[in-house]
Structure 1
Amino acid sequence: MHRLAVFFAALTVLFGSAHSPAPAQDRTLTVFAAASMKNALDDIDAAYTAKTGVKIVASYAASSALAKQIEQGAPADIFMSADTDWMDYAIGKRNISESTRVNLLGNAIVLVAPKDSSTDNVTIAQGFDLARLAGDGKIATGDVKAVPVGKYAKAALEKLGAWTAAEPKFAMAESVRAALTLVARGEAVLGIVYSTDAKVEPGVKVIGTFPADSHPAIIYPVAATTIAKPEAADYLAFLRSSAAKTILEKYGFKFLVSPTT
């Protein structure tokens, strides 16, 4: 009887240990970032993983879509928005650790055309006639009601007196990268995107830059979510580092903070 008891005790130990969770740390962080961040942030994440061993899983989309996904319970550790409005929205929904927020980057919006377009060197100023420039073609940008680049574009065109005539010609895309693709494929004759997007897409050319005072300042805030893993703090610190600054400036972003190291 004693031997039988010992046998079952041994089985319990064996199978119990087999099904116990491994004590190894979860070395992954999930980053939700504005679509315009993709190329630069992919490089930053590779550098961060090489330095720390922590794997970054990045999800790119319009800031509006990402903020709503976080609100609905998506397991993000970091949120990087292309405007302050959607970060404010996420903070208002109590999804963001407000004390971790940093207004990290700046950008500019530009007018682009397909690479082989005959349109070139457009002066964008008061009275600028975007509707006439587009002719019978479409103008692509992000959804002006939600996607940050679209909101910036509409604000600029309203201030310059060009919105009312041009509005019927707009093709609203789900993100700035979707708008960029429409222009690169020739499905839109013009597009309004960030200068950083135009820089990484060989299928388009910049034909004009919107004056900085024609729209609200383009600011990219970044913060940890309220459910973030402790490692998120180190990742946020890396985003403020000299190494990250070098990468971001290579892609055309303006670094708005003093680098930490």
Structure 2
Amino acid sequence: MKYRFIAILILMLVGSQNLYSQDYIILSDSEVRGILRVSLGATQFSLREKDSLAQSAYGIHLSNEVKLLSYVWNKEKSFTFHDAFYLDLSFGRMNNEPRELPSKGESESRFSYVANMGYLLLPGYRNPKWALLAGLDFRWRAVKVGEYTFPNVDGPLLYYSRPLVIRAEYALSKEIADKRAIFMMWYDNGTAKRTNYLSARLEYPIGEKGRSWIYFQYTGQSALGEDTFTPSDAKDTKFNQLILGVRIQNAIL
């Protein structure tokens, strides 16, 4: 499964290089700060096969978003956008005791990760007091906890979901327009071609300038996963993740 992680990482790095390509566009330092949203946090995530104990890991969560419409749109207009190409990664160490295969002299790896990439587009309405936006998130994900993988070995490289997303904002300051509490929710019931997806996120502004938020997020998903250490058939597997972190950006848009 190391090859799957390497393939995912290469795919994401190639996408990131395209986003930051300077062949045609050169951005100043202030413009770079304006176009990015960056998050850093602590995370706990797990995979649990049906009728089995959960395999969990603890680690760090890193996320980078690149704004498009959000960056160029006139902030004074009531009709607005919240969008981004995003890449977020969680790296951790499996908390469960590694299994052993004495006959082969092998020990289960503790290395664990969650990889997400996609594009989020939310049109909506925003005024000085509140905002309500809704749209879609085109998201791809893969997870590994120890030797448990999600998707399964014979499944796709990444699970695809297209959840409906709702974003609500409430202003906490009359003087600082960007100082807002934010609530977001994702939901995709899943189809034959898409994997179900559920997530909720609450953000609260910190600092005096309205440029940083502390946030808490829960995510859940169910699909086929597989134990590759003691090879067996793919089974229904539940993925869960909790994140507590800080997000920094130049403006709420």
Q: Same fold (TM over 0.5)?
A: no
- Name the TM-score class by shorter chain: under 0.3
Higher relative contact order structure (alpha carbons within 8 Å, sequence separation ≥ 6) = 1
Q: Which has the higher helix share?
A: 1
Q: TM-score under structure 1 normalisation?
A: 0.24
